[in-house]
A and B are shown apart, each in its own frame.
Chain A
Amino acid sequence: MSFIRNPKDFWAGVLFIAFGLAAVIIARDYALGTAGRMGPGYFPRGLGIIMMALGLILSLRALRVDGDRIRFGSFKPIFIVLGSVIVFALAAPKLGLIVATILLIVVSSTASHEFRWKEAVISSLALSAATLVVFVYGLKLQLPTWPWFLQ
Chain B
Amino acid sequence: MELLANLGTGFAVALTLQNLFYCFMGVLLGTLIGVLPGIGPVPTIAMLLPITYALPPVSALIMLAGIYYGAQYGGSTTAILVNLPGESSAVVTCLDGYQMARQGRAGKALAIAAIGSFIAGTFATLEVAAFAPPLAEVALKFGPAEYFSLMVLGLIAAVVLASGSLLKAIAMIVLGLLLGIIGTDVNSGLQRYSFGVPELSDGIGFVVVAMGLFGFAEIIVNLEHKEHREVFTSKVSGLMLKWSEFKEALPAILRGTGIGAVLGILPGGGALLSAFASYTVEKKIAKDPSRFGKGAIQGVAGPESANNAGAQASFIPMLTLGIPPNAVMALMVGAMTIHSIQPGPQVMTSNPQLFWGLIVSMWIGNVMLVVLNLPLIGIWVKLLQVPYRILYPAILLFCCIGVYSINNNVFDVYMTVVFGVLGWIFVKLECEPAPLLLGFILGPMMEENLRRALLLSRGDWSVFATRPISAVMLGIAAVLLLIIVAPSIRKKREEAFQEG
With a CB–CB cut-off of 8 A, which chain A residues contact B54?
Answer: 139
Q: Is the CB of B171 within 8 A of A108?
A: no
Q: Flag if B171 contacts A111 (CB, 8 Å).
A: no
> Which residue in chain B gives the minimum CB-CB distance to A111?
B223
Interface size class of B (residues with CB under 8 A): 35 or more
Q: Does B170 contact A (CB under 8 A)?
A: yes
Q: Looking at the assembled complex, report how far the CB atom of A135 sits from the nearest CB atom of chain B, in whole angstroms.
A: 6
Contact indicator A74/B224 (Cβ below 8 Å): yes
The contact of A40 among B190, B404, B408, B429, by CB within 8 Å, is B190
Q: Tell me, yes or no, whether B430 is within 8 Å of chain A by CB.
A: yes
User: In this assembly, does B7 line the interface, its C-beta being within 8 Å of a C-beta of chain A?
Assistant: no
- Chain A residues near B221 (CB, 8 Å)? 77
- The A-contacting residues of B in range 216-261, CB under 8 angstroms, are 216, 219-221, 223-226
Complex interface residues of chain B between 416 and 442 (CB less than 8 A to chain A):
416-417, 420-421, 424-425, 428-431
Q: Which one of B216, B225, B404 contacts A143 once the chains associate, using CB atoms below 8 Å?
A: B404
Q: Which residues of B contact A11 (CB under 8 A)?
A: 429
Assess whether B420 is in contact with A85, with CB atoms less than 8 Å apart.
yes
CB-based contact A44/B181 at 8 Å: yes
CB of B414 within 8 A of CB of A89, answer yes
- Are A113 and B190 in contact, CB atoms less than 8 angstroms apart? no
Across the interface, which residues of B come within 8 angstroms of A8, CB to CB? Answer: 428-430
Q: Give B187 Cβ to nearest chain A Cβ, in Å.
A: 7
B441-481 CB contact bits vs A (8 Å, 1 = yes)?
00000010011001101111100000000000000000000
On whether the beta carbons of B224 and A44 are closer than 8 Å, the reply is no
Residue A81 CB within 8 A of the other chain: yes
A residues less than 8 Å from B410 (CB atoms):
89-90, 92-93
- Kindly state whether residue B392 has any CB partner on chain A within 8 Å: yes
Q: List residues of chain A with CB within 8 A of the CB of B455.
A: 36-38
Q: What secondary structure prevails in chain A residues at the interface with B?
A: helix
Instruction: State the Cβ distance, B165 to closest chain A Cβ, in Å.
Output: 7
B56 within 8 A of A: no
Which of chain A's residues have a CB closer than 8 A to the CB of B417? 82, 85-86, 89
Number of A-B contacts (CB under 8 A): 183
Q: How far apart sit A89 and B461, CA to CA, in the bound complex (Å)?
A: 48
As a 0/1 sequence over residues 114 to 140 of chain A, the CB contacts with chain B under 8 angstroms (1 = contact) are 111001100110010001000100010
Interface string of A15-43 (1 = CB under 8 A from B): 11001100100110011001111111001
Contact check, B167 vs A50: say whether CB atoms are below 8 A apart: no
* A51-B174, A89-B414, A104-B400 given; A112·B187 CB < 8 A: no
| A-side interface size class | 35 or more
Judging by beta carbons under 8 Å apart, are B178 and A23 in contact? yes
> Are A115's CB and B190's CB within 8 A?
no
B223 touches A44 (CB 8 A): no
A4 within 8 A of B: no
> Across the interface, do B421 and A82 meet the contact criterion of CB distance under 8 Å?
yes
A40→B187 contact, CB < 8 A = yes
Give the interface of A toward B (CB within 8 A): 8-9, 11-12, 15-16, 19-20, 23, 26-27, 30-31, 34-40, 43-44, 47-48, 50-51, 54-55, 57-58, 61, 68, 70-74, 76-78, 81-82, 84-86, 88-90, 92-93, 97, 100-101, 104-105, 108-109, 111-116, 119-120, 123-124, 127, 131, 135, 139, 141-143
22 A-B pairs with C-beta separation under 8 A: A8-B429, A12-B168, A36-B454, A38-B187, A43-B447, A47-B178, A50-B174, A54-B171, A58-B168, A77-B219, A77-B221, A78-B421, A84-B396, A85-B417, A89-B414, A108-B392, A112-B223, A115-B389, A119-B390, A123-B390, A127-B394, A143-B401
Closest A-B pairs by Cβ, 6 of them: A36-B459, A73-B224, A77-B223, A35-B459, A112-B389, A89-B413
